[in-house]
Structure 1
């Protein structure tokens, strides 16, 4: 029986594991840009991006921290510059030191911001779904009256 390699990360919650570069890098399966370009998987993951491909978008990336999504990447795009341009308030982009160098207090404060970002993203998605359903109901009511 072979011994499994333990990294210590297995005790962390799944979402905290995304703070580790190697875990973000593992999401880059079938990423269209690998060589001779700025947006290699390593550069993307280093800038906080996760690869989240869809049927229509093989190059969709989402920040694990601010949840901003971008697609239609070009080989010359700088992942960090694009992140800063499209989400300048992202706490991960603004981080001045490596995650591994944060104190527990700094990390928990940072992660509190990530949780707030996730909650806001989920709220926006649910609000959009609710508004779509409400519009359909309004249309149905109007059609009943005609």
Structure 2
């Protein structure tokens, strides 16, 4: 990873996160406006089945099923209490270099842990399938 690659840092900035909320189902007269979502660190990551999926750019926590009265900051904090970005409560422009580097480290830690978790789960599933095959073979059920 190039340390200061523009793509790595793009979503660190509020304006870039806000741009992702095109087509967001909540706009006015509610708590989860695009502006509030972006301030809380979310980017809009809709799917065909769920037009209201939002993911934190830092901790990668995905939330969906938003209601108009949901407060994005409170929801983020309650579903991802260890997210450094939401706990820091600062715009990237106002962070010290130490805070910025810690944010980058935490973001990378979340990604690595998620990848490791996914790999472990795939391994466990493959092991279960293989075990079931061995048991069936041993019992003569092929």
Q: Where on the TM-score scale, by shorter chain, does this alignment land: which range?
A: 0.7 to 0.9
Shift of 1:118: 1.3
Aligned residue for 2:43, secondary structure, equals strand
Equivalent pairs, count? 136
For the pair 1:13 / 2:9, whether they are aligned, the reply is no
3-state SS of the aligned residue for 1:38?
coil
Q: After TM superposition, what 4+ stretches of structure 1 lie above 3 angstroms from structure 2?
A: none
CA offsets, 1:46-74, max 9 Å, x none? 10111111232221111111111111111
Q: TM-score, normalised by structure 2?
A: 0.87
Measured at CA, do residues 54 and 129 of structure 1 come closer, stay the same or move farther in structure 2, by a change above 3 Å?
A: farther
What TM-score do the two structures reach when normalised by structure 1?
A: 0.84
Equivalent of residue 51 in structure 1, options 41, 44, 47: 44
Paired position in structure 2 for 1:3: none
Q: Is the 8 A contact 2:60 2:111 kept in 1?
A: yes
> Given the alignment, which residue of 18, 30, 34 partners 2:27?
34
Coordinate RMSD, CA, aligned: 1.6
Measured in 2, the distance between the counterparts of 1:71 and 1:16 equals 24
Residue segments in structure 2 that go unaligned for 5+ positions in a row: none
CA–CA distance in structure 2, aligned partners of residues 24 and 92 of structure 1 = 14
Match of 1:7 in 2: none
Q: How far did residue 142 of structure 1 move?
A: 1.8
- Following superposition, the deviation at residue 90 of structure 1 comes to 0.8
**Stretches of structure 1 lacking an aligned partner (at least 5 in a row):** 1-10
Q: Which residue in 2 is equivalent to 1:141?
A: 134
